[in-house]
Chain A
Amino acid sequence: MRMMPPEFMVKISDSCIKCKRCINECSFGALRFENDRVVADHDKCAACHRCTAFCPAHAITVEKFPAIFKDNYLWSQDVLKSLWKQSESGAKILTGAGNDKPYPVFWDKMLLDACQVTNPSIDPLREPMELRTYLGKKPDKLEFWQDKKGDIKLTTVMEPQIKLETPIIFAGMSYGAVSLNVQLILAGAARELGTIMNTGEGGLPQELSEYKDHIVVQCASGRFGINLSYLNSCAAIEIKIGQGAKPGIGGHLPGEKVTEEISRTRRIPSGTDAISPAPHHDIYSIEDLRQLIYALKEATRYKKPVGVKIAAVHNVAAIASGVVRAGADMITIDGFRGGTGAAPQVIRDHVGIPIELALARVDEQLRREGIRHMASIIASGGIRQSADVLKAIALGADAVAIGTAALVSMGCHLCQKCHTGLCAWGIATQKPELIKRLNVEEGIKRLVNMIKAWNLEIKEILGALGVNSIESLRGSRERLRGVDMDEVYLDVLGIKPAGR
């Protein structure tokens, strides 16, 4: 029994030249040629805009289907549609990409400072402006030895560090969730930009081995593809405990997506389901985490920093403190707006907390305990633009990780159909005919451009703030002010209201 009107409506105007390009491009099968014209199946349209972007005659428009329901604030159309879907299928609703609900975005409620008169701003075109960042455990102080000539030598032994030329890194996105071309673009761009990408939990495709100095390999609950050579083919290792889009649950890559290549990379039989359990079954407590951290350090002879990624949940500050004390060199906090290849909608939209609040609390907690130097903090989950990066750093992040923004630069239009494997832009798919739509060279160029543009914007703002090095903004909440926030949120963020 059909209950729902379609979500979108595809209109094809008279200027259509009947080239059928759109039919070819639509991976969702929403367009067909019938009676000498292009006909749309509105129900199948995902609003990915592949057809509108490629129509040479600009004859296609995608609109919201104009179905007007009786106004009801409580029983919104989204709610009704979900209920109907569940009534049809008896299944939990799956979705892709990040939380799209209108929760407050605290980035947009924070404003940065600038210099006027009493201290000068600095022109980034004339003066050096430094973004270099090192991730890893730092000692709380240094020791030096001075010889008779007065030459100074460092005697403190430093832990391994990752050198970044920008405080922006690429978030974990697994081969399986995204195509090989996506990972090749991330790795290529990371190398060119002097930063790092993260393989996610799907193992390390052979094609990426030449980029190993710019790769973080993940060790997640499924332990896919992990062996000694995997652990040593990287700049760092990350233990993934949780993900902002789906805290507390695991992952499930259905057998039909486990192709020959993916089976090789994940080291599981092809065609079998790849299941990541909700917890690591050897980590039921913080002391178990410590064992895994040190097992990985042993396996890599203490030459690789080991990070831990957790989702931002209610008690994140105390958890982060435990993780750092367990020996993590880096801790990634993934906020509730983080993206995903597939997650139950109810989890994605209702579990976790905003990264802004989580980051502020974690940084403050680690400082209060005097252990902030023991681990770098990486913030992720909904970082959209250079302003978000700056605000995250001012709140206390050492670096931020971006996933969705990087995919958008490659062509993602946020249609949220990642879980279908039908991505028309060749991003969240394993279909060879779709993957090849994503040109690796061009993708690298676009992503490098985007990050370079962000770097320029970051330098511009640092100059306006009157500092010439990113570490002078890091944790400097004095340079942030809140607008449209009550006192409790200001207190959690550790910032003053605008005007004070």
Chain B
Amino acid sequence: MFKRAETKDISGCAVVGIMNEKGKTIRGDVITSAIAVMHERSNGLGGGFAAYGIYPEFKDYYAFHIMFEDEGVKDSVETFLQDSMVVVKSEAIPIRKKMSLANTPILWRYFLEVPKSKIPAGFSEEDFIVSVVMRINTRFNGAFIFSSGKNMGIFKGLGYPEDVSRFFRLEEYEAYLWTAHGRFPTNTPGWWGGAHPFGLLDWAVVHNGEISSYGINKRYLEMFGYECTLMTDTEVIVYMLDLLLRKHNLPQDIALTALAPPFWKEIDEMDKNKKEAMTALRMVYGSALLNGPFSIIISSTSSMIGMTDRIMLRPLVVARKQDTVYMSSEESAIREVCQDPDEVWSPQGGEPVYARLEERA
């Protein structure tokens, strides 16, 4: 069950995302119907969901979703968590007991508070959380944190996405932002942690594609202390966003542009300021360029962003109906849950499309 991939993970996929920009919640069965339409894009070896706004009563605590191989490793991880943070609540993640999915691990969630005294000097609270996640995921054999943000959670496993949704009883959750992923791996590690979305803090990424520049993206991240252990593109994308947005503090537009920057011939035609900025961006962040086919949906507490590679080698369709934004690999999935959208379009290659949570007064 916890045998991780030793070679590069290769897979094709379906992705879908739904967000209400006013923060109105949507039930989990909606996104499940959408992703189920694209059944043919998955092969039953991985499905998953990310949901935002699902733990309002614990919204100030980090919600860790962890999978364990056995009670032994669960005990040692819990000891470690108690040493480094305050465990406010600990419970099994509710599942539909009558269903059985292959290789089901122990699925547990923890709501955690970080006392200031536990944070080492020079670390922000988020740095600290990232270091705890990295430590557990790399040092505790048989444990894997698959979700670590506040008021959000990731649910994933081995199976078609609609089965994974039923297994986790997602129809009982209400979220203002959902993303979903159906996986078609061509090599089969058969590991729950290898399913998507992949998350870190409140970032979650669902991704369809294979990044041909994986090797250098990974080596670049390693320079900044990230350990890419899952051999998946999604992991690399999440860490890259974490590096660019959180550690390097780049404006969101710029960070996304670094992943799919304009071509030199376009840059050469830009006005002085923009040309200077883009030239420097490509010089400095060349190793962050995600080259090769991808469409991704990046979600966080405040936004949902859809983007494809710069020559759009994988599909992405976006639609809007009033305050709700839909993004999907195929338009059919959107039409399934929103028959009459106000607009439907395909973004340009490399052009990010945003849905943003309105500030609540």
Contacts and interface: CB of A to CB of B under 8 A. Distances in A.
Interface of A: 115, 117-120, 122, 127-128, 130, 132, 134, 138-144, 146, 151-154, 156, 158, 161, 367, 370, 372-373, 465-469, 471-479, 500
Nearest to B283: A134
Contacts of B263: 128, 130
Contact of A472 (B213, B264, B277): B213
B293 A120 contact: yes
A168 B191 CA distance: 44
Contacts of B254: 142, 144, 152
6 nearest interchain CB pairs?
A478-B215, A471-B286, A476-B215, A472-B291, A472-B213, A466-B212
Given A141-B248, A478-B214, 10 more contacts: A115-B292, A141-B284, A142-B281, A152-B277, A153-B273, A154-B280, A367-B219, A367-B222, A476-B213, A478-B8
B216 A119 contact: no
A471 B289 contact: yes
B285 A142 contact: yes
A388 B355 CA distance: 46
A127 B311 contact: yes
7 contacts: A118-B186, A122-B311, A141-B247, A142-B284, A152-B273, A154-B277, A475-B287
- Chain B interface size band reads 35 or more
B248 A142 contact: yes
Given A122-B311, A469-B289, A475-B216, A139 B223 contact: no
Contacts of B291: 466-469, 472
A449 B66 CA distance: 59
B250 A154 contact: no
Most B Cβ at <10 Å: residue of A127, A130, A161, A476: A476
B251 interface: yes
B97 to A, nearest CB: 37
B220 to A, nearest CB: 8
- Dominant secondary structure at the A interface: loop
Contact of B210 (A118, A154, A474): A118
B311 A475 contact: no
Contact of B212 (A134, A140, A472): A472
A240 B345 CA distance: 57
Interface of B: 7-8, 10-12, 186, 209-216, 218-220, 222-224, 247-251, 253-254, 263-265, 273-274, 276-277, 280-287, 289, 291-293, 310-311, 313
Contacts of A151: 273-274
Contacts of B219: 367, 475-477
Nearest to B291: A472
Given A122-B311, A367-B219, A138 B251 contact: no
B283 A154 contact: no
A229 B77 CA distance: 66
Contacts of A118: 10-12, 186, 210
Contacts of B313: 119-120
A143 B214 CA distance: 25
B201 to A, nearest CB: 19
A367 B10 CA distance: 26
Given A144-B251, A152-B274, A372-B223, A474 B286 contact: yes
B289 A119 contact: no
Contacts of B248: 141-142
A472 B214 CA distance: 8
A499 to B, nearest CB: 11
Contacts of B209: 119
A252 to B, nearest CB: 41
A152 B278 CA distance: 10
A144 B263 CA distance: 20
Contacts of A122: 311
A467 B212 CA distance: 6
A138 B283 contact: yes
Nearest to B293: A119
Contact of B289 (A146, A161, A367, A472): A472
B188 to A, nearest CB: 14
Contact of A146 (B251, B280, B287): B251
B269 to A, nearest CB: 13
A144 to B, nearest CB: 6
A119 B212 CA distance: 7
A474 B216 CA distance: 7
Contact of A119 (B210, B215, B251, B282): B210
Most A Cβ at <10 Å: residue of B10, B212, B213, B223: B212
Nearest to B213: A472
Nearest to B187: A118
Nearest to A122: B311
Nearest to A146: B251
Contact of B284 (A130, A138, A153, A475): A138
A142 B280 contact: yes
Nearest to A367: B223
Nearest to A366: B223
Contacts of A472: 212-213, 216, 286, 289, 291-292
A114 B50 CA distance: 34
Nearest to B275: A154
B237 to A, nearest CB: 14
Contacts of A141: 247-248, 250, 284
A146 B293 CA distance: 30
A142 B243 CA distance: 12
Nearest to A115: B212
B215 A468 contact: no
A119 B292 contact: yes
B216 A476 contact: yes
A144 B186 contact: no
